Amino acid sequence: MRLRGRALPGLESAAQAVPATGARPAGAAVEALLRLAVSRLDAGTLRTAAEYTLGLAQGTRDWPASSRRARAASVYGVSVERFRKDHEVMVLGQVAEHVLRLAAEPAAAPGAAVAEAGTGTHRTVRARVGERPVTLTLHVHPVDLLRDVDVVVSPSNVHFALPQPYKSSVAASLRRVSSVRGVTGDVLDDPVHAELHKWACRNGTSGRAVLPGTVAATGTGSLAAQGVRRIYHAAVAVPRAGTNDYDVLPSDITRAASRALALLAEERDRFDPPLRSVCFPLLGSGRGGLAYDVSLAALWAAVEAELARGADWDVHFLVRTPEAAALVERIPAGIRPPYDRRPPGGPDGMGEDPRSV
C-alpha cells in the first residue's frame, strides 16, 4: 500500500517498460510488475515467502512489515532474525532478477501480455452448460489462504500417505494449516493425518493401496476457522515402482472429481448450514506431471456433467500461476486438450514441480 505517493524511479521505469503493467498509474503499475515478477518464481516456499514479504498474499497488503516478515519466516521454519539476514535477502534478490528480466523482454503481443499479467486473486468465470448459465470462482493464491469454501479437494497418492507439512504441495499445505498449534508455534495435534488414518482402518485399506479415483473425507482441524469444513482426499497418484515418481491418468482425475461431487451430495444435509461449495486445485499438475490444460479438462469433464444434470453446486478452482488462471478463464470457450500430453522431461515428483498448485 505504501507504493502510492512514493518516488520509486527504478521500479516505475521498469514497470513502464513492461507492456502488461505500464499503462497504469505509477503505484498500480509497480504493484502489477511485482505481482508478475513473483508469479514467475518457482511455486513453493520461495514464491509463498515473496508473497508474504511484499504483502501480495490475499489479505496481507495492509499488514505491518513485522507481521509479514514473521509469516514469511514461518514458511522456511526459521526465526524472524535469521530470515531477515539471510532468506529475505535471497527472496527479494530473486524478485529483483525477474523484474529486470521482464523489463528487458521484447514487447509481446497485446493478447499475450493480458494473459500473462492477470489481475486479482479472486475472479469470476461465467460459462454455459447446455442452456444454463453457471458462475465459477477462480482463486489465484496458495491453498492455505482459502476461506469460506465448504469443501476443498486435496490430491493424494493411492496409499493416502500425507506429505510432510513443511513441503509445498496442496496436501502438505492443507495438513500444515489444519494442524493445532500452541502459543509457541509447536504442533499440538495433527487432526487431518489422524482422521485419514482412521478412515483407512475403518475401510480396511490400512497398509495397502486403494483404487485410483477413491475419495476419503476428513474434517479440517484449524482450517475450520477459515470457513473450510471438509477436505476430500482424492487418490489420483500411483507411485512408480523403484522411483520417487508418480503416474497420474486423466481418467482417474475425472473419476475422483465425480466421486467428490457424489460425496458432497451424500454429506450435504449432515451439516448446518448444508454443504454447497467445493474447490478443485488442478489435480496431478505437480509431481504427477500432467500439463495444466490436461488436468483442467479432466476435472471439467466431471464438473460439467454434474452441472448438466441440474446440480446447483458453487464450484471453485484454485491455481497458483497466471498460465493456469488463463486456462480456467477460457472454460467458456471450451477445453478439450489431448489427454496423452505430458510436459517435456516428465514428472519429477508430486507437489514439488515448479508448476505445482
8 Å CB contact between 161 and 167 = no
Max Cα–Cα distance, the chain, nearest Å: 64
d(CA 117, CA 115): 6
336/13: higher pLDDT: 13
Q: How far, in Å, are 8, 20, 65, 121, 122 from residue 35 at the CA level? A: 16, 11, 18, 11, 14
- Provide CB contacts within 8 A for 288, sequence distance 6+: 155, 236, 237, 246, 247, 248, 347, 350
Flag the least confident range among 100-104, 299-303, 337-341.
337-341
Flag the least confident range among 61-70, 171-180, 275-284, 333-342.
333-342
Write out pLDDT tens, residues 20-52: 666 677 778 888 889 888 888 877 788 899 999
Per-residue pLDDT for 216 more than 60?
Answer: yes
For 123-173, the DSSP string reads EEEEEEETTEEEEEEEEES-GGG--S-SEEEEEEETT--PPPTTS-SHHHH
**Residue 143 backbone dihedrals phi, psi, to 5 degrees:** -65, -25
Number of neighbours of residue 190 by Cβ within 10 angstroms: 18
* Band (119; pLDDT cuts 50, 70, 90): low
d(CA 203, CA 196): 11
d(CA 75, CA 60): 15
Write out pLDDT tens, residues 252-264: 999 999 999 999 9
pLDDT of residue 153: 97
Alpha carbon 166 to chain centroid distance? Answer: 16
Q: How far, in Å, are 140, 246, 296, 337, 350 from residue 325 at the CA level? A: 7, 24, 10, 16, 20
Calculate mean pLDDT across residues 57-73. 89
The single-letter code of the amino acid at 86 is: D
Alpha carbon 91 to chain centroid distance? Answer: 20
Number of neighbours of residue 206 by Cβ within 10 angstroms: 13
Percentage with pLDDT > 90 across the chain: 52
pLDDT of residue 336: 54
Calculate mean pLDDT across residues 313-326. 91
Calculate mean pLDDT across residues 177-200. 90
pLDDT of residue 45: 86
Per-residue pLDDT for 205 more than 60?
Answer: yes
pLDDT of residue 288: 81
pLDDT of residue 345: 39
182/343: higher pLDDT: 182
**Among the ranges 16-25, 132-141, 338-347, which has the highest mean pLDDT value?**
132-141
pTM for this prediction: 0.64
Percentage with pLDDT > 70 across the chain: 88
